[in-house]
Amino acid sequence: MSTSDWIKYQVKANLFAPPMLRVQRWRDEQKARARVPREDDPLTPPMMATLKMKELMTRHYAQATCADGARKVAWVTSGTPIEILRALGYFIFYIDNHAALCGARREADALSEVAENEGYSRDICSYVRTDLGVMLSGNTPIGRLPKPDLILCCNNICQTILNWYRILADHTKAPFYVVDTPFLYGNAEPHQVAFVQRQLEDLVGVAEKIAGKRLSWKRLRKVIELSRDTCELYLQILDRARHHPAPIGAFDSFINMGPVVTLRGEPDAVDFYHDLLREVDDRIARGIGIVKNERKRVLWDNLPVWHRISWLSRTLAERGVAVVISNYAYAWGELAPMLDPDKPLESTARIYLSVLLNRSARDKLERMQAMVKDFDLDGVILHSDRSCKPYSFGQIDQRTQLVTGLDLPALLLEADHNDTRVFSEEQIATRLAAFVETMG
């Protein structure tokens, strides 16, 4: 760590960026309050807390651009046990979250084409092609990516990431560590938890060596407490969608999930979700839903279509449909009670072993069936994601079970979470309209 890099990081990340971003948020809040809602808008105004989320995430990416050299940097997958690294002071950068940002800003297609022109197949996950395009071109909406000191991969979300992150490690020459999680067909067995726990114990040694310091178990306990609090607050917020009308929905949860993913284990994430929960509760008290005329309530299965969130939300709202919950968003909160600061490595092993995509298709179906009852749903939209094959696996059978078992309309919607080239607005609008008709 050089003194000049540390000074540059402190000036840009902690002295210059925060006050500038607070001023920008204040201006955005004033504009939002002064804006007169359109009477013909089927959606209610977005939540003010979202502006704080934008401030936090913009600050995070501003810090990322100058983190290397000033702090140890770890590139990680979304299902990685980051609490260990957070406790050691690493700057944590989620490569797949960065790809989602590129998708939301509609820059993923151009980046994917860079990767495709270098021989990477278009059949590969669009997150992968997006980030490989960044790696090859150097183009990114955040300015630059921080150079990693460690690349940490956990294969509990899919096997694609193993090859994806190996390519990133080869390109950056950073040390590469893999946490291998056995696939679960039922509850996690003690020997499976012990297997993952041993790997986490090894990870502690690897991360300590790169960081040049020993792990403080007191600090790890605090980070796990903050991580648990963040996830539990997020879960409470999502559970508020049980109310009629739903004060928050799946598309809101997608937009506001950045802190629970990227800043999990930090006080700012806890503070943000406290603010968001208060605003959601205020909407409940005032009878405000996400859709002005909520007639039907549906579940969204799979990742969001990042580049069409607004369009999908409005298209459905015009027909009185509120997308109230998503099993993808719910996965970031439902396991929070498992985190135990008194058993830091054992509970961390158990929770990261038990994530949604590391469990069976039957388990996923049963959870959707439970959500249908818990959230009083009238239908299900299953996003058949061209890129995310592990998440989309079994959807045809799951749709059949939902239709025949619960007598519930279920739409299989083909799209891609990042690639706009496989999204047809006209075709999807027609299918959504037909789906809404089947709900009556």
Q: What number is the average pLDDT over the span 432-437?
A: 97
Cβ atoms < 10 Å from Cβ of 14: 11
Q: What number is the average pLDDT over the span 384-407?
A: 94
Give the tens place of pLDDT for each residue, 60-95.
999 999 999 999 999 999 889 999 999 999 999 999
- Vertex 57: Cα angle to 81 and 101 (nearest 5): 85
Higher pLDDT, 17 or 402: 402
User: Rounded to two decimals, what is the model's pTM?
Assistant: 0.95
Give the tens place of pLDDT for each residue, 236-255.
999 999 999 999 999 999 99
Q: Which of 142, 146, 9 is nearest to 68 (CA)?
A: 146
The answer to whether residues 122 and 133 touch, using CB atoms and an 8 Å cutoff, is no
Q: What number is the average pLDDT over the span 403-407?
A: 94
Supply the pLDDT for residue 89.
Answer: 97
Cβ atoms < 10 Å from Cβ of 431: 16
- Does the pLDDT value for residue 2 go beyond 80? no
- Does the pLDDT value for residue 1 go beyond 70? no
Supply the pLDDT for residue 439.
Answer: 95
- Does the pLDDT value for residue 4 go beyond 90? no
- Name the pLDDT band for 132 (thresholds 50, 70, 90): very high
Give the tens place of pLDDT for each residue, 264-285.
999 999 999 999 999 999 999 9
**What tokens were used for 195?**
């297997």
- Name the pLDDT band for 15 (thresholds 50, 70, 90): confident
DSSP assigned state of 54: H
Distance from C-alpha of 48 to C-alpha of 372, rounded to nearest angstrom: 29
Supply the pLDDT for residue 240.
Answer: 98
Q: What number is the average pLDDT over the span 294-322?
A: 97
Tell me the average pLDDT of the chain. 95
DSSP assigned state of 75: E
For 313, residues 6+ apart whose C-beta sits below 8 A from its C-beta are 43, 249, 251, 323
Supply the pLDDT for residue 225.
Answer: 97
The answer to whether residues 265 and 219 touch, using CB atoms and an 8 Å cutoff, is no
- Per the DSSP assignment, residues forming a β-bridge with 89 are none
Q: What number is the average pLDDT over the span 133-160?
A: 95
Distance from C-alpha of 233 to C-alpha of 5, rounded to nearest angstrom: 36
Q: What number is the average pLDDT over the span 198-217?
A: 98
Lowest mean pLDDT among 12-26, 162-176, 215-229: 12-26
Q: What number is the average pLDDT over the span 369-383?
A: 98
- Name the pLDDT band for 440 (thresholds 50, 70, 90): confident
- Per the DSSP assignment, residues forming a β-bridge with 75 are 93, 151
The answer to whether residues 108 and 307 touch, using CB atoms and an 8 Å cutoff, is yes
- Does the pLDDT value for residue 33 go beyond 70? yes
DSSP assigned state of 359: B
